């Protein structure tokens, strides 16, 4: 369970370029729920996600994961509870390390790292098995540098890596945005499969309304650093993009004019 | 080149290959441009020489020198990690501070080790000449250090250090305490350099305050020459390349010192070394061009 209460973040306070990125954002995600987060550019999606992961310090408010207050914990300490896939395929994996080394690194997430071999032979079999499920032929390339893989392949491996260790919440940061449409669909399908199979509590930030309504069981829309729409259950079933837009207009009394959001 | 200068170059090259391994860890694995080396090398020499001169067991003295080097590395890392001082600047601060510290440790600008027992005199059998015995001992030391590093960087902790240098943001997201890994890596790196300094003092007849000048240049040159003659991405090959690079670099210097037959003199040493290193660096480029021409 994730519980974010009254989060506030202001960039460059007291200067002409002051930006109030989060303005009292509150959101609760119960265990096992898959939430998609949508919003226009500058709505605070990425800021919110980075606040949860610990990459950005918050000015006020609190973040609870299960019963633990993680508000002041650095990123690496939150990693016992938080798994993450980055938007940039290059950011989520270690270019200089091999596929198996990257997976070994992820399998140690949140555990203490000692002087045992990073990749043992029984683990290698496990990794091979996991990679085989992707159907990308990566199971035969365990000792290849991950830098040799394409963006889509790296993103798929990142997803596998995020699920190697149990987490209390999985953060997906527009993780298909940098991929071509076919690869994006593949990675999204994989996401759905892994999240369902492992029953992960998940928060997926996306820039595509279609994606936001297609996957997961709840959609949250951010606007000016706050939650403005929150749909789930019966209401969300069969919902189309125009319905969501209309809801937004009723709530805010203004129209959305972000082409990227409407067209993707 | 005589056998005498051949073994001399091999011996010093092997000692500097420990420096090169240290520089490889900081510059390449951690991507931490670390100039502390110029101070931790003479620190190792100073601590080793002072301890041996005061009658301590040379092995214990060498161990203490290694620890002293490691501590220097830790302080540089602390300046960077906790006080947020830029990496290069933190290491420069440490380097100049160590100059004074080294003078304090020695109490005077140099400490000779002439008759005192060293790790080399203890290990070396009577029947073997000094100039052959020392490089043989160094081969064993360097081999041990190289294999130990190879093994270490294949452990969970070693992997965390490599990830810290390669992609710190990802490393943190995987629960790696990147600050601690920088401190640990810098300790190992400068520990090796301190060890090299202590061994250098024991082979060269003593420690001198100026023995550290240019250590970082030699170390970096060795890493780059090594990478250019043996390009690879695997740790096992990389450490081997770095060791080879240090030895080859030393042979360049020996060759430069022995180039009087073409009218060059001792003062031309640095120029000749620079030219030879340049040649080693551009060899891969020429190889590439040659291969391309053949494939056309």
Q: What is the DSSP string of B83-128?
A: S---HHHHHHHHHHHHHHHHHHHHSSSEEE-SSS--HHHHHS-TTS
- How does residue B242 score in pLDDT terms, banded at 50, 70 and 90? very high
What is the maximum alpha-carbon separation in chain B? 68
- The verdict on A115 touching B (C-beta cutoff 8 Å) is yes
Q: A104: which residues sit within 8 A by CB, 6+ positions away?
A: A118, A119, A123, A127, B156, B159
Please tell me which of the candidates A82, A95, A114 has its beta carbon nearest to residue B156. A114
Residue with tokens 């399998």: A107
For chain A, what is the largest distance between any 2 Cα atoms, rounded to a whole number of angstroms?
60
Whether B186 has a pLDDT exceeding 90, the answer reads yes
CB of A4 closer than 8 Å to CB of A51: yes
Contacts with B, A 55-114, CB within 8 Å: 55, 74-77, 79-80, 82, 84, 86, 91-97, 101, 104-106, 108-111, 113-114
Instruction: Classify residue B177: in a domain, yes or no.
Output: yes
Cβ atoms B22, B76 nearer than 8 A: no
Q: Angle, to 10 degrees, between the axis of helix B3-23 and the axis of helix B130-152?
A: 20
| CA nearest to A104 within chain B | B156
Whether residue B272 is predicted with pLDDT greater than 80 in this model: the reply is no
Q: Which helix or strand (DSSP H or E) is residue B197 part of?
A: helix B178-203
Region for residue A52 given its phi and psi (left: phi exceeds 0; alpha: psi -120 to 50; beta: otherwise): alpha
Which of A15-24, A249-258, B45-54, B71-80 shows the lowest mean pLDDT across its residues? A249-258
Can you tell me the mean pLDDT for A158-177? Answer: 93
Q: Is residue B281 part of a domain?
A: no
Is the pLDDT at A155 greater than 90? The verdict is yes
Q: Provide the shortest C-alpha distance from residue B159 to chain A (in Å).
A: 7
pLDDT score, position A261: 62
Counting the structural domains of chain B, the total is: 1
Q: Which residues of B touch A (CB under 8 A)?
A: 152, 154-160, 162-163, 166-167, 169-178, 233
Q: What is the pLDDT of residue B146?
A: 97
Q: According to CATH, what is the number of the domain A2-263?
A: 3.40.50.300
> Which of chain A's residues have a Cβ under 8 Å away from the Cβ of B158?
118
Closest CA to A105 of B147, B188, B167: B167
Q: How confident is residue A26, by pLDDT bands cut at 50, 70 and 90?
A: very high
When pLDDT is averaged across residues A166-185 and rounded to a whole number, the result is: 91
- Cα–Cα distance measured from residue A113 to residue A128, given in angstroms and rounded to the nearest whole number: 22
Confidence bin at A258 (pLDDT 50/70/90)? low
Return the residue of A nearest to B163 by Cα: A94
**Beta-carbon separation of B156 and A104 below 8 A:** yes
For range B25-54, the mean pLDDT: 96
Interval B9-18: pLDDT, tens:
999 999 999 9
Name every chain B residue with its beta carbon within 8 A of the beta carbon of A108. 156, 160, 174-175
A210 within 8 A of A187, measured Cβ to Cβ: no
Nearest to A145 among B171, B178, B233 (CB): B233
Instruction: Say yes or no: ipTM exceeds 0.85.
Output: yes
Cα–Cα distance measured from residue B75 to residue B95, given in angstroms and rounded to the nearest whole number:
11
Q: Which of A143-152, B15-24, B54-63 has the lowest mean pLDDT?
A: A143-152
Q: Which pTM was predicted?
A: 0.91
So what's the pLDDT on residue A220?
A: 93
- Alpha helices (H) along chain A: 45-53, 75-78, 99-107, 121-132, 151-162, 181-198, 209-214, 233-236, 241-252, 259-263
Strand A19-29 relative to strand A34-39, pairing? unpaired
Other beta carbons less than 10 A from residue A16's beta carbon:
5
Whether B120 maps to a domain, the answer reads yes
Helices B37-53 and B215-229: angle between axes, nearest 10 degrees? 120
DSSP string, A106-128: HHTTTS---SSBSS-HHHHHHHH
Least confident piece of the model among A4-18, A44-58, B227-241, B254-268: B254-268
Note down the domain range covering B29: 3-212
The answer to whether position B136 is within a domain reads yes
């Amino acid at each position: 369970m994730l519980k974010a209460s009254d989060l506030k973040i202001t960039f460059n306070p007291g200067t002409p370029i002051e930006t109030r990125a989060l303005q009292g954002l509150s959101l609760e995600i119960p265990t096992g729920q898959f939430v998609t987060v949508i919003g226009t550019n500058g709505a605070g999606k990425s800021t919110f996600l980075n606040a949860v992961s610990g990459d950005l310090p918050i000015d006020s408010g609190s973040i609870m994961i299960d019963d633990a207050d993680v508000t002041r914990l650095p990123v690496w300490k939150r990693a016992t509870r938080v798994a993450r896939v980055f938007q940039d395929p290059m950011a989520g994996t270690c270019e200089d390390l091999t596929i198996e080394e990257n997976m070994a690194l992820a399998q140690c997430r949140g555990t203490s790292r000692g002087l045992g071999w990073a990749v043992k032979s029984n683990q290698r079999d496990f990794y091979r098995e996991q990679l085989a499920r992707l159907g990308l032929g990566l199971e035969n390339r365990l000792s290849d540098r991950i830098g040799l893989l394409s963006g889509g392949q790296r993103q798929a491996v990142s997803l596998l890596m995020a699920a190697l260790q149990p987490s209390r919440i999985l953060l997906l940061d527009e993780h298909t945005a940098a991929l071509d449409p076919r690869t994006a669909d593949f990675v999204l399908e994989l996401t759905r499969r892994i999240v369902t199979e492992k029953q992960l509590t998940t928060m997926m930030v996306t820039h595509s309304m279609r994606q936001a309504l297609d996957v997961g069981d709840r959609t949250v829309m951010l606007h000016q650093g706050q939650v403005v729409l929150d749909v789930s259950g019966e209401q969300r079933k069969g919902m189309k993009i125009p319905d969501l837009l209309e809801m937004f207009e009723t709530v805010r009394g203004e129209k959305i004019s972000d082409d990227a959001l409407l067209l993707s | 080149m005589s056998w005498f200068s051949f073994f001399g170059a091999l011996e010093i090259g092997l000692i500097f290959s420990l420096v090169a391994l240290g520089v490889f860890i900081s510059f390449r694995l951690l991507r931490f441009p670390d100039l502390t080396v110029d101070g931790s090398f003479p620190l190792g020499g100073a601590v080793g020489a002072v301890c041996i001169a005061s009658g301590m067991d040379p092995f214990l003295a060498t161990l203490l020198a290694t620890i002293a080097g490691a501590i220097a590395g830790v302080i540089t890392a602390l300046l960077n990690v906790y006080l947020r001082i830029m990496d290069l600047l933190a290491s420069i601060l440490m380097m100049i501070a160590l100059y004074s510290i080294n003078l304090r440790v020695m109490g005077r600008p140099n400490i000779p080790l002439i008759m005192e027992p060293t790790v080399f005199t203890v290990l070396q059998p009577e029947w073997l000449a000094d100039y052959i015995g020392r490089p043989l001992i160094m081969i064993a030391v360097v081999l041990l250090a190289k294999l130990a590093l190879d093994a270490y960087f294949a452990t969970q902790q070693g992997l965390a250090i490599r990830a810290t240098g390669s992609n710190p943001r990802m490393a943190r997201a995987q629960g790696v305490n990147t600050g601690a890994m920088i401190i640990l890596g810098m300790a190992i790196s400068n520990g090796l350099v301190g060890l090299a300094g202590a061994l250098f003092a024991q082979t060269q007849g003593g420690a001198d305050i100026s023995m550290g000048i240019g250590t970082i240049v030699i170390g970096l040159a060795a890493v780059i020459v090594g990478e250019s003659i043996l390009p690879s991405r695997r740790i096992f090959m990389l450490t081997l390349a770095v060791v080879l690079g240090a030895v080859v670099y030393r042979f360049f210097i020996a060759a430069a010192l022995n180039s009087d037959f073409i009218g060059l003199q001792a003062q031309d040493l640095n120029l000749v070394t620079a030219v030879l290193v340049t040649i080693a660096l551009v060899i891969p480029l020429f190889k590439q061009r040659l291969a391309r021409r053949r494939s056309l």
